[in-house]
Structure 1
């Protein structure tokens, strides 16, 4: 089976690398020619999106938003112009369920399979090959792609019909982003009270407060390291999708609505390209303090 991969960014590059290392026949495509060349040096082949569509059994992608995904698939010279019945498109991007269902339905008209398969685990999970993949679509297509998913994930779960993977990812983003924000609030509280926030998170990370946000993001906060593994900009897009979806189904989400306003504040202050550990800056401004480890 030949696999195409479009989008070699923070997440996509290590995902493609794991496929190459596992011995899969991988063809990659990205606007950044330097990264493509580096993947080719590692054992991949390079191709245009047209090449991937014509030559690969499965074409995967992880892209910034739904409009780019749809343009890659359905735009002029897009994948659908060159793909044939029996091939499969896998979208690892974070989009809405409606976006995923639209892709599924249009591709199915030509007999092309589609899986919405967003991932969770961040840059560290992508590099370690331990991503969680939540999948919506047909079981036969999931079973075909499962060996591919195994190369860069620790768990791939078929949630249900098309769109259900995207809903699961939005639920994931509610939990992750609110968790990071509450860790930021707690460490700001500790710092304002005069206690070393580094010792606080180390003291509690083995107890009931243990979480990905505490283990992965608290060290970044106290070290003032906001180099993005996942930018606020990307997470703002996801939370906007959560808000819009929740409003459409009449589901109140009061905590996430507040989180959205925190993100809007970060946007107003120019922090959108920083890691979402930078939520701490919002709480620091409110409390007039800085979260940093004491010497």
Structure 2
């Protein structure tokens, strides 16, 4: 089932499967990627309870080994619609028999979408519903993809990061794990967006020093644009397929990171994870602005 929200500027559609934002239109323009399975079969998946890949797609917790795919399982789970009005909807995923096979924790994950003029405000609220004494360990993030006609020649769009300053770039190896080799990436001026930008996998920048970071894609002819603003997120991923040419770019606020090549595999020492005590909850926020 698809939930439709509308206000004076936007019409958006959210699929109950994964609570995934699948369409955003403004003045007749569709912003979201169409999920063509020949390129990338998703629109804007939610990442939970991990971000990125696990080493060998597995981890250990309390002496037991668990297997989990890249970016976790929330994107492939059916959510419940717990409330809906014209410009807001709230979705819920709770632990179930399938998730417990991959992740031995009881949790509630609430996802809310709220329209405010030309903006979509997204809140991801995680609650530990485990028995007393069990800490919930998790990461979370978003992976929205926007339609951008990519070429190997003239740029079709520009990417701007605010604040405009150098950022530490997290390097990924061929296995999708982070390496020990990092570099500083200059974002003091807009970056031309072409297919070649994505050679070597996603660009991941460390934004932990900024309480709010905004990434903006704008068409070269300035006919449309979209901004993604993260609130207290750790990283931003910037991705499209390579070497396949696909007409989308993802701007991804992350509160977590993939395993490194040197991790032990123990969940307790996995980098980028949050913890919540029994009964505690935490909300993570980002905003999308369409123009």
1 or 2, which has the higher strand percentage?
A: 2
TM-score (norm 2): 0.25
1 or 2, which has the higher helix percentage?
A: 1
